[in-house]
Amino acid sequence: MLSLHQLRCFLATYEHRSITAAAEELGYAQPSVSEQIRGLEKTLGVALFRRVGRGVVPTTVADSLRPHAEATIAAAEEARRAVASVVAFETGTIRFGMFGTARLYAGAGLVADVLARHPGVRVELIGQNSNDVQEDLRRGRLEAAMLAVPTMSSEGMHVIPVARDELVYISADPERLQTPVTAQRLAEASLVMPETTWRAEDSTRTVLRQMLHETGRNPQTRIEVEDVETAVELVGMGLADSVIPHGAAVQLIPRLAPKAGWVSLRPQQFDTLAIVHRAGATLSPAARLMIELATARIQAIAEPLAPR
């Protein structure tokens, strides 16, 4: 079997026209290099050097092999260098999962943070769908993610809560923002909810369902839309009210619904934002980097939670 080691010994010998000199350069004893050359000649089935008393002389086959041997060694070195550069965050891809409101108001900033520190990397922020993200985590396609999670930890997953974000009632009608909104009022309200919020396995869904369930009523949504932005716009147009995380409200209402405002629920409800990864996994430097930066971003906006 052809090996890089054989090619390295071959090249050193070819260049020095001497096995002894090659061994010295490579830091081996002379018989070791001699053996590698012999092995290479055997695998190729052809003599590469003529042993002529004292000294060796390359054959024309050696002349032909040399550039290919150099190219192969160079390719291997390049492979090593490429990996090193990825490890050093100079190149390569950093993949991180981020779903729910977290991505909404921290995603772009997080990517900016990463690129500011490591301009050469590609960043993939995965988070089209909360189910997919959890599935990706479970299957190992994603190493770590920041999610809005139910308070209990998922099976086989390690969950580190880093912040909580209050769920606030938003409306374009100042009347409805005078006092905190009770479950009763919430159940009677005409709501627009982003579908993802209801369907996804995150804490918003769990929290609100639970709150409404206590009134004995099912969630009443007049309108269901895909994303939070659309919901906020509809609130701004006075067509319905909604419940969204405070962080999203701060960011979206001035831009999309300047006439709307927000008020707490009563009792207060919170989304829990947490770092999630497979239990027992050793995190890569890239994952640790993303966790650190994402946590900092989130905690600058939402209310930090002491880990555990």
Partner DNA sequence: GGATAACATAGGCACATCCTAGGGAAGCAG
Partner DNA sequence: CTGCTTCCCTAGGATGTGCCTATGTTATCC
Q: Verify binding: residue 16, its own copies, rule CB under 8 A.
A: no
Nearer to DNA, 136 or 241 (CB): 136
One-character DSSP codes across 220-266 = -EEEEESSHHHHHHHHHTTS-BEEEEHHHHHHHHHHH-TT-EEEEEE
From the list 87-95, 98-106, 230-238, 296-304, the region that binds its own copies by CB under 8 A is 87-95
The count of residues in the chain is 308
* Shortest Å distance, C-beta 93 to its own copies: 4
For the record, the structure tokens of 18 come out as 């001497």
Q: Verify binding: residue 55, its own copies, rule CB under 8 A.
A: yes
One-character DSSP codes across 23-45 = HHHHT--HHHHHHHHHHHHHHHT
Q: Verify binding: residue 278, its own copies, rule CB under 8 A.
A: yes
- Name the nearest CA neighbour of 226 among 151, 129, 149: 129
Q: Verify binding: residue 45, DNA, rule CB under 7 A.
A: no
The residue within the footprint of DNA, chosen from 15, 25, 30, 176 (CB under 7 A), is: 30
For the record, the structure tokens of 114 come out as 């990463």
∠ CA 234-210-101, nearest 5°, is 45
Q: Verify binding: residue 76, its own copies, rule CB under 8 A.
A: yes
- How far apart CA 274 and CA 158 sit, in angstroms, is 10
Among its own copies, DNA, none, partner that 212 touches (CB below 5 to 8 angstroms by kind): none
The residue within the footprint of its own copies, chosen from 31, 42, 64, 279 (CB under 8 A), is: 64
Contacts 24+ apart (CB under 8 A), 45-53: 48/10, 49/13
Number of chain positions touching DNA (CB under 7 A): 28
Residues that bind its own copies (CB under 8 A): 1-5, 7, 44-47, 50-52, 55-57, 59-61, 63-65, 68-69, 71-72, 74-76, 78-80, 82-84, 86-87, 91-95, 139-141, 143, 278, 281-282, 284, 286
